[in-house]
Amino acid sequence: MAATRYRRFLKLCEEWPKDESKKGRDLGTFLRQRVASAFREGENTQISDPEKCDQMYESLARINSNVYKEKFPRAKDTSFTGVTVEECRMLLATGNMQHTDEEKKGLWKTLMERFSSKPEDGTPEKAEK
């Protein structure tokens, strides 16, 4: 039975899409890593909790096959903000997230310089006598 579980998870990994715009944060990549970790011995892996393993597979399979998207169709393809799915993908792409992090660092550095007790040249202030 472990071999069957392993093959089911492999098939799910093959079907699960990879989002190249989310390097290091992609759910498909994470799923592949977790399956490789959980089934280190491939088909010979001993499953400690078969019921939990089957539940996990069924849950992931439902997500991958869009069961809930079909069961609960949306009236519009936008969120409450009016942002479309494609606009959201663009905003969450790794490149844009890194750019946002750089902007935050810029703001943080500015605030630190503004409120720091040290002079800007980095030398410590001399104590007053």
User: CB within 8 A of 85, min separation 6: which ones?
Assistant: 77, 78
- The predicted structure's pLDDT at residue 92: 72
Domain boundaries, the chain: 1-73, 76-117
The answer, yes or no, to whether residue 113 has pLDDT greater than 80, is no
Whether the pTM exceeds 0.75: the reply is no
Mean pLDDT calculated for residue range 95-107 = 59
User: CB within 8 A of 60, min separation 6: which ones?
Assistant: 12, 16, 31
Mean pLDDT calculated for residue range 119-123 = 52
The answer, yes or no, to whether residue 107 has pLDDT greater than 70, is no
Token pair in block for residue 64? 């991958």
The answer, yes or no, to whether residue 117 has pLDDT greater than 70, is no
Q: Say how far apart CA 36 and CA 7 lie, in whole Å.
A: 12
The answer, yes or no, to whether residue 67 has pLDDT greater than 90, is yes
Q: Are 96 and 88 in contact (CB under 8 A)?
A: no
